[in-house]
Amino acid sequence: MRINKYLAGCGVGSRRFCDKLVADGSVKINGKTVTEMGAEVDENNDSVTVDNRRVTYKRREYYIMLHKPKGYVSTVKDDLGRKTIMDLIDIKARLFPVGRLDYDTEGLLLMTSDGEVAQKLMHPSGEVSKTYIARIEGNITEAELQQLRTGVMLDGKLTNLAGVRLLDKDDKTSRIEIVIKEGRNRQVRRMLESIGKTVQFLKRTAEGELRLGGLTRGTYRFLNDKEIEYLLSL
């Protein structure tokens, strides 16, 4: 990385101002004064000082909310040649999906360049709530809703307590909201299938305090400062 870009990334000032610092002999790389504008810096290994005070490069981290559509896999690449969420992102940074949504599910998917944060959020101990809206065939009884709330058997183990409520229904379909704090594979679909329900549509609308809102399907936005602060506090 060129020295002026490195210094600007350290918060020293604009690149033009940093060029002046270099020309004035105020900058050292590994203890050696540099005066060439094109001097290169290894931001991971070199020590850089300005007026004998060490400066540190602040790598930008990305925190993104994507409205994943159906028909995309929640991975960086796919061996089967299917479309991935990376086809929807035009940021030249190494991004990690925070958890997954299956191929036929749409909705809120967090992505970040901060690998440490991604791992923390995906750890089973995190217990961050995830809210889904599901449309199923036919009607659902109060007894069946209660069964989903108290737990159904998946992979030989009961699911944890869930928040479940009926939103509306007609003669052919029912629409329900399900809030879970687990992250088993295809969990919401399998919970509904376990009580004999066929899922027509499934969408994740919230993750903790982060809400999808009116974000258009297939687009993304950067989290604001308040949302990032919440994310880092989890």
- Catalytically annotated residues: 102
Residue where the block lists tokens 């809400």:
211
Name residues whose C-beta falls within 8 Å of residue 70's C-beta, 6 or more positions apart in sequence: 103, 104, 105, 106
Look up residue 80 and give its two tokens: 């089967």
By residue count, the chain amounts to 234
Task: Answer yes or no: are the C-beta atoms of 149 and 164 closer than 8 Å.
Answer: yes
Q: For residue 89, with 0-12 CB atoms within 10 Å meaning exposed, 13-18 middle and 19 or more buried, which class applies?
A: middle
Name residues whose C-beta falls within 8 Å of residue 148's C-beta, 6 or more positions apart in sequence: 162, 164, 178, 191, 192, 195
